[in-house]
Amino acid sequence: MTTPLLQVNELVKKFPVKKGWFRHSGYVHAVNGVSFDLQEGETLGIVGESGCGKSTTGRSLLRLIEPTSGEVIFQNVDITKISKNDMHKFRKDIQMVFQNPMDSMNPKLTIREIISEPLIAHKVPKVERNQLINDTIKLVGLSENHLFLHPEKLSGGQLQRVGIARAIILRPKIVVADEPVSALDVSVQSQILNLLNKLQEELGLSYIFISHDLAVVEHISHRVGVMYLGEMVELATKDKLFEKPYHPYTQALMSSIPKTDPDEEKERIILKGELPSPSNPPTGCKFHPRCVHAMEVCKSVNPTFKDVEGRKVACHLY
* Least distance in angstroms from the C-beta of 246 to ligand SF4: 9
One of 230, 291, 311, 312 touching ligand SF4 (CB under 6 A):
291
| Residue span binding ligand SF4 (CB under 6 A) among the ranges 94-102, 156-164, 266-274, 281-289 | 281-289
The nearer residue to ligand SF4, 163 or 303, going by C-beta atoms, is: 303
Q: Taking CB under 6 A as the rule, does residue 64 contact ligand SF4?
A: no
One of 226, 294, 305, 312 touching ligand SF4 (CB under 6 A): 294
- By CB under 6 A, name the one of 285, 305, 311, 312 that touches ligand SF4: 285
Q: Which of 161, 219, 311, 316 binds ligand SF4 (CB under 6 A)?
A: 316
Alpha carbons 12 and 66: distance in angstroms, whole number: 10
3-state SS of the chain is CCCCCEEEEEEEEEEEEEECCCEEEEEEEEEEEEEEEECCCCEEEEECCCCCCHHHHHHHHCCCCCCCEEEEEECCEECCCCCHHHHHHHHCCEEEECCCHHHHCCCCCCHHHHHHHHHHHCCCCHHHHHHHHHHHHHHCCCCHHHHHCCHHHCCHHHHHHHHHHHHHCCCCCEEEEECCCCCCCHHHHHHHHHHHHHHHHHHCCEEEEEECCHHHHHHHCCEEEEEECCEEEEEEEHHHHHHCCCCHHHHHHHHCCCCCCCCCCCCCCCCCCCCCCCCCCCCCCCCHHHCCCCCHHHHCCCCCCEEECCEEECCCCC
Judged by CB under 6 A, which stretch of 41-49, 118-126, 186-194, 310-318 contacts ligand SF4? 310-318
- Total binding residues toward ligand SF4, as defined by CB under 6 A: 14
State the nearest-atom distance from the C-beta of 247 to ligand SF4, in Å.
6
Binding residue (CB under 6 A) for ligand SF4 from 293, 306, 307, 309: 293
Contact flag: residue 235 with ligand SF4 (CB under 6 A): no
Q: Does 288 bind ligand SF4 (CB under 6 A)?
A: yes
Q: In the bound complex, what is the minimum distance in angstroms from residue 235's beta carbon to ligand SF4? A: 15
Cα separations in angstroms, 291 against 34, 52, 234, 249, 274: 21, 16, 15, 7, 12
Does residue 303 interact with ligand SF4 by CB under 6 A? yes
Q: Does 14 bind ligand SF4 (CB under 6 A)?
A: no
Per CB under 6 A, which region of 85-93, 115-123, 152-160, 294-302 contacts ligand SF4? 294-302
298 binds ligand SF4 (CB under 6 A): yes
Residue with smaller CB distance to ligand SF4, 259 or 293: 293
Bridge partners, 77 (sequence order): 74
Binder of ligand SF4 out of 287, 305, 311, 312 (CB under 6 A): 287
Name the site residues for ligand SF4 (rule: CB under 6 A): 247-248, 285, 287-288, 291, 293-295, 298, 303, 315-317
